[in-house]
Amino acid sequence: MRKLLVGLALILVVVPARAALAQPGERLIADRGRSEYIIRLCKSPTLTEEYAARELQRYLAEITGANLFMREGTYLATIPKKTI
């Protein structure tokens, strides 16, 4: 569990807090409180994976003002290109 939280913390440090910080070649996760990205979970996530996804969603909303939706599934045809 600790490794999971440390990994989550590292992701949050790397994610730009504001759209204005994005440089060419970087991924812009949110802009003006909106995001085209989703948080993708596997088809049958474990409780730990669900918890981590909810925490990521919560922290990204706090940092960017955007609420990223979570989606389960493994079929490539149904997965948007912009996933976390």
Count structural domains, the chain: 1
pLDDT of 13 higher than 60: no
Higher pLDDT pick, 4 / 41: 41
**Domain carrying residue 17:** 2-78
Q: What is the pLDDT of residues 42-70, one digit of tens each?
A: 888 899 999 999 999 999 999 999 999 88
Average pLDDT of every residue of the chain: 76
- Asked whether residue 84 is assigned to any structural domain, the reply reads no
- Asked whether residue 83 is assigned to any structural domain, the reply reads no
Return all residues near 39 (Cβ < 8 A) that are at least 6 apart.
53, 56, 57, 68, 69, 70, 71, 83, 84
- Asked whether residue 47 is assigned to any structural domain, the reply reads yes
pLDDT of 17 higher than 50: no
Cα 64 to Cα 57: distance, rounded to the nearest angstrom: 10
Q: How far apart are the first and last CA of the chain?
A: 20
Higher pLDDT pick, 44 / 3: 44
